[in-house]
Structure 1
Amino acid sequence: MTPAPIPTYHYPISISPGDIDHMGHVNNAVYLQWVQEAVVSYWEHGSTLEAREQMLWVALKHEISYRMPVFLNDHVEAQVTATGTHGSRASFTTLFKRGDDLATEVRSSWCCVDVTTRRPRRISPDIANIFLPQ
């Protein structure tokens, strides 16, 4: 059974003291970890067990636009949206929001990989339709 489409996935972010840099805000490198966690959680939440047993995702590229700093006690949420697929590649936009304010925007490209061969695997229409509803 194919899950219902989830166009935008909301993922809560936990900020720990180790995420804070010498300037008193979340270190820029921490956002890469958060993107990884949020996109993988999106995949795990939306996909079938069968799909998760057959496919893995590898990040290819991230473009990060920082709009405002985030601090230790801020409440932050990642909002992940799939924006397209082509062959074995999928693109996502992840917005990190502090309340209603956009703190950071990340556009990323990922490659679908076969779990056994570790080689790129074409994204089938049934998988794409889970994340990119028509």
Structure 2
Amino acid sequence: MMWDLSNPFVIDIEVAADDIDGLGHANNAVYVSWLERSAWRHSQFLGLDLAEYRRLDRAMAVLRHEIDYLASAYEGQQLQMATWIVESDQRLKMDRCFQLIRPADGVTLLRAKTTFVCIELSSGKPKRMPAEFVEGYGAALQPAFPMEL
């Protein structure tokens, strides 16, 4: 697989019938749900699951998505979504990049960058990352994404 960066965290995706819109391909909103699924699974892999978020009274919430839709996905296709944490100020913000590939032909269907902000769950207000976030997400930090989005 030709990933944009080394050492990706990768999940497998199968395009379901419910993912298809009136134009016959996966709806753009479905791609966003795949970004979320990929980010959550990576967080869980790093030991930062929902239970840990609740224990710490902190969460990483989406502040901004930048998405380049490069090609369409169709029902029944097998896809792979890779993600990398590419930047963190280790206080409030963190950037995560994504790449969606169709392994059958190696085509990249999507590239995206999401900026997250750390919030206090009990208030919804921005709060400094706890040490567990700095350590867990920091351990997965990769060099900056090589392309402009």
Q: TM-score, with normalisation over the residues of structure 2?
A: 0.75
Q: Any stretches of 5+ residues in structure 1 without a counterpart?
A: 1-6
Residues 1:96 and 2:100 aligned together: yes
Taking the aligned partners of 1:41 and 1:104, their CA distance within structure 2 comes to 18
Matches within 5 A, 1:46-125: 46-48=46-48, 51-52=52-53, 53-54=55-56, 55-86=58-89, 87-99=91-103, 100-123=106-129, 124=131, 125=134
Q: Any stretches of 5+ residues in structure 2 without a counterpart?
A: 1-6, 144-149
Taking the aligned partners of 1:128 and 1:48, their CA distance within structure 2 comes to 9
Q: CA deviation at 1:10?
A: 0.6
- Pairwise CA RMSD: 2.3
DSSP 3-state at the match of 2:99: strand
DSSP 3-state at the match of 2:23: coil
Q: Equivalent pairs: percent with the same residue? A: 17
Q: Determine if contact 1:47/1:130 at 8 Å carries over to the other structure.
A: no
Taking the aligned partners of 2:47 and 2:122, their CA distance within structure 1 comes to 18
Taking the aligned partners of 2:20 and 2:138, their CA distance within structure 1 comes to 38
Q: Which amino acid aligns with 1:90?
A: M
Taking the aligned partners of 1:114 and 1:84, their CA distance within structure 2 comes to 21
Count of residue pairs the alignment pairs up: 129
Q: Determine if contact 2:46/2:137 at 8 Å carries over to the other structure.
A: no
Q: TM-score, with normalisation over the residues of structure 1?
A: 0.83
Residues 1:126 and 2:135 aligned together: yes
Taking the aligned partners of 1:112 and 1:120, their CA distance within structure 2 comes to 6
Q: Which amino acid aligns with 2:13?
A: I
DSSP 3-state at the match of 2:29: helix
